[in-house]
Chain A
Amino acid sequence: MARAAIPGRLAWRVARLAEARQETETARTLVFDVPDWPGQTAGQHIDLRLTADDGYTAQRSYSLSAPDRVELTVQRIADGEVSPYLTDVIGLGDPVELRGPVGGWFVWRPGTERPVLLIAGGSGIAPLMAMIRARRRSGDGTPFTLLYSVRTPSDVYFADELRRPDHGLTVALVYTREAPDGWPRPPGRLAPADLAHLGLAGDCFVCGPTGFVEAAADLLVARGHDPRRIRTERFG
Chain B
Amino acid sequence: MKGKIEKLIINALVDYNEELENPAYGNPDEKTRLYSSEGGMDSIALVGFIADLEERLAVEFNKDIILADERAMSQKRSPFLSVQLLANYIENLLLESEE
Co-assembled chains A and B: no
- Residues of chain B touching chain A, judged by Cβ–Cβ distance below 8 Å, are none
